[in-house]
Amino acid sequence: MSGTDSQSLLRPPASNIIFDSEKDRGLDRADTDSISSVEDEKHDPDEYVKLQTTEQELSTSTDQQPKVTKEHLACQRICLGFGCIFLCAFILVASCLIGHDISLDKLVNITELNLETGFKVEAGKQRLREYEFDVTHRWAAPSGVWKKMMLVNGQSPGPLIEVNTGDIVRVKVNNYLSGGESTTIHWHGIHQRNTTWMDGVAGISQCGIPPGKSFTYEFEIIDQRGTFWYHAHSKVQYTDGLYGPIIVHDPDEKLPSDTDIAAERIVFMGGSFHAYGEDLLESYLQPSSKWAPSMPGVEPLPDVILINGLAPFTNCSLTSSTWPSSKPPICDPSPRRYMTPMTNGTTRLRLINHSSFTSLYFTIDSHPHLTIIEIDGVEVAPITVPGVYLNIGQRYSILVSPTHHPAGSFAMRATIPKSCFLPYVPYTSSILESVNHQGTALLSYSPDHLNSSSSSSSSVLPITSQNPNLNIPQNCTDLPFSLPVPLRAIPAYPLDETHPPSKNTHEINFQFQQAGPVNRIFINRTSYSPLPNTTQLWLSLSQTFDDNNNNNNNNPDPDPGGYNNYGFPLNQQVLLLPEADKTVQVAINSRDVMEHPFHLHGHTFQIVAWGPGEFTAGSNPNTTWNLENPMRRDTLTIPGLSHVVIRFLADNPGIWALHCHVAWHMEAGMLITFLERPNDLKRLVHDMDPSIRELSRSFCSGEKPPKTKSQKT
């Protein structure tokens, strides 16, 4: 860690900053004209004066603010061209925003999280839903400790995307990040049918949106409904708050017949670090990290578990094991936790885990019966459970009914199942220990909140309910894979059992391995790292993928469905899915003791088989098969030292990542991609809007201008 970085981490909350450059950018979705123009604000001359003043005030206490401001001064002097004015303007806005602290009331948007938006659920009318996302660095204290966050429109969780199935979503993302950081946004669980370039994965489907630039994502929600989320998909940026909910309504959603849902609420939960994600990442990837000096590859444990963006933290004398500096962070003890208001009827809680490292077990005190009705956007026959195990990226909708509860409030708890993680990290997090490895929020039936729920979002009320027998299952697995039954039944996609096996069939294995002094994660023979100046998508366009000799670099592989990297660099592993609309089968073998949450882009997969040990050459004697109406989802837990077999149809040409959703593991190489129907993909890219294609390619600074092959003529 460089000195500059640690200084920037120690930057005090700049309560003495006086300018207020950013209006509340909460977006009225019905009226996009109401978005106040960023352009207008950028050219406000008063702003500039205030900035100069601020620079003097702050110059002794921080390195960050003056640095940005000097840049913009220099920029002003040098720039005469029109293009430069825009660049200056962006830098100016970015420099304003980083210095501007966010209060908890702005950070956490209760109207959206309580889904009290007045949204009209309807079918048959395709609407365009437009959003504008200003991505900024801001200082905020979600747990009382001030940290540098990455926010969308000043919020974390970011603004709600709420649509009906069939709608078109259009999101203009403006990158106002400081420090030269690029970013992308991925729409987790949304299929991106025929729009793989809108998938938002840096190095795979696009190059990062450079600072000062904008990119507009646009995609249709086709035959999907339920609970989804979006997050940055560039390095570990989502760790610092860059995520938000996506709710897809459908009047034809299949719900248990006797249910009348009176209200819906989002419960977004996940670990959060006092330290800045990028600093943790840098340390994590070294032979020796701050928190585990003698063992490479040990993940940082979160300091707190946020629920809807908040975590109470009152003991500022406790220090974080992963904090990178000897000076403690600024801490204002905060007892605030989120309060979810209940109604008189049944409430649907939409649970989402946005963690970077751990799964969470969700419970509500005095509510031993939670009824699961949706898993990752798939409606399932009701399953009643005492608690819900959510791995990273997974979503569950549960029904909670108040019938037996008196007025009052009950704790909602998101607890780390300790045995799944603590045995593998040779240190403790004293802060996390002080809260029992648990995040808490309140579920309130108090009459005050029954009618005007929006009047307060967070509460300093102590938790009065007790859950003395809180029994956290320690088996580190999802619900038994055979238990959830999708209500839209689909039998397992049939596998063509010919020899040689279908080219859409793959077996992969993953393991942690020492690579010199550092520890990396290998899938088959490759530890992935993202391409810096191009993407797999663009690189795939100029290659010929021959089904028989599957390789462009004289390295023929005897297994046609197996490992190779075609013409991609050696740290990319691209598996081909050439057979259109045929079944894809992928066996994922874990050679690691820990559980790992695997997420597939572009598809919802069926879980058709599982068992201990490895699945090789098409089988394992200990495999359990479930072919009748197997559960479907987009993120599953692979238990330690075992295998899971998934299937889906090759019906969506594109370049799709399959990876562990532990942010640290992804960065240590735990990712592969499927190149689905490369020739159809080339056609799609050929036919896409050329201006979008050229804009996206222009973000790849190392990219040569595209050959006219992919150009419309």
350 binds, among Cu ion, ligand C2O, none (CB under 5 to 8 A by kind): none
Supply the DSSP symbol for 85.
H
Task: Report whether 644 contacts 588 (CB < 8 A).
Answer: yes
Site string for ligand C2O, 170-189 (x = CB under 6 A): ----------------x-x-
Contact between 14 and Cu ion by CB under 5 A: the answer reads no
CA–CA distance, 26 with 110 (Å, rounded to integer): 12
Closest separation in Å from C-beta 233 to ligand C2O? 6
Query: Which tokens hold the place of 707?
Result: 């050959």
CA–CA distance, 380 with 394 (Å, rounded to integer): 15
29 binds, among Cu ion, ligand C2O, none (CB under 5 to 8 A by kind): none
657 binds, among ligand C2O, Cu ion, none (CB under 5 to 8 A by kind): ligand C2O
Contact between 596 and Cu ion by CB under 5 A: the answer reads yes
Residue 413 or 596 having the CB closest to Cu ion: 596
In the chain, the amino acid numbered 546 is D
Residues 6+ apart with CB under 8 A from 29: 129, 130, 131, 162
Residue 504 or 590 having the CB closest to Cu ion: 590
List helix spans (H) across 423-571: 430-434, 447-451, 536-541
> Binders of ligand C2O among 645-664, rule CB under 6 A?
657, 659, 661
Report the C-alpha dihedral over residues 497, 498, 501, 502, rounded to 10 degrees. -80
Contact between 350 and ligand C2O by CB under 6 A: the answer reads no
What does 601-669 look like in DSSP terms, one character per residue? SS-PEEEEEEEES--BTTB-TT-EE--SS--EESEEEE-TTEEEEEEEES-S-EEEEEEE--HHHHHTT
Residue 98 or 662 having the CB closest to Cu ion: 662
Task: Report whether 645 contacts 623 (CB < 8 A).
Answer: yes
Side-chain-facing half-sphere of 332: CA atoms under 13 Å = 11
Residue 225 or 665 having the CB closest to Cu ion: 665
Q: How many C-beta atoms lie closer than 10 Å to residue 38's C-beta?
A: 17
Return the residue of 100, 191, 231, 633 that touches ligand C2O, per CB under 6 A. 231
Q: Which of 33, 199, 216, 221 is nearest to 126 (CA)?
A: 221
Query: Which tokens hold the place of 510?
Result: 């993953």
Closest separation in Å from C-beta 529 to Cu ion? 16
Task: Report whether 61 contacts 99 (CB < 8 A).
Answer: no
Query: Which tokens hold the place of 307?
Result: 């629920």
Contact between 665 and Cu ion by CB under 5 A: the answer reads yes
Closest separation in Å from C-beta 599 to ligand C2O? 5
Residue 91 or 662 having the CB closest to Cu ion: 662
**Interface segment toward Cu ion; rule CB under 5 A; list 238-246, 298-306, 376-384, 596-604:** 596-604
Starting from the edge strand earliest in sequence, which strands make up the sheet with 654-660, in order?
574-577, 671-676, 654-660, 596-600, 635-638
Contact between 601 and ligand C2O by CB under 6 A: the answer reads yes
Contact between 235 and ligand C2O by CB under 6 A: the answer reads no
Return the residue of 506, 599, 633, 682 that touches ligand C2O, per CB under 6 A. 599
Measured at CB, which residue is nearest to ligand C2O? 188
Task: Report whether 204 contacts 197 (CB < 8 A).
Answer: no
Contact between 393 and ligand C2O by CB under 6 A: the answer reads yes
Closest separation in Å from C-beta 274 to ligand C2O? 23
Q: Which of 572, 556, 604, 193 is nearest to 393 (CA)?
A: 604
Return the residue of 185, 207, 236, 662 that touches Cu ion, per CB under 5 A. 662
662 binds, among ligand C2O, Cu ion, none (CB under 5 to 8 A by kind): Cu ion
Task: Report whether 608 contacts 583 (CB < 8 A).
Answer: no
Residue 281 or 399 having the CB closest to ligand C2O: 281
Closest separation in Å from C-beta 601 to ligand C2O? 6
Contact between 660 and Cu ion by CB under 5 A: the answer reads yes
- In the complex, the residues that contact ligand C2O under the rule CB under 6 A are 186, 188, 231, 233, 393, 599, 601, 657, 659, 661
- In the complex, the residues that contact Cu ion under the rule CB under 5 A are 596, 660, 662, 665
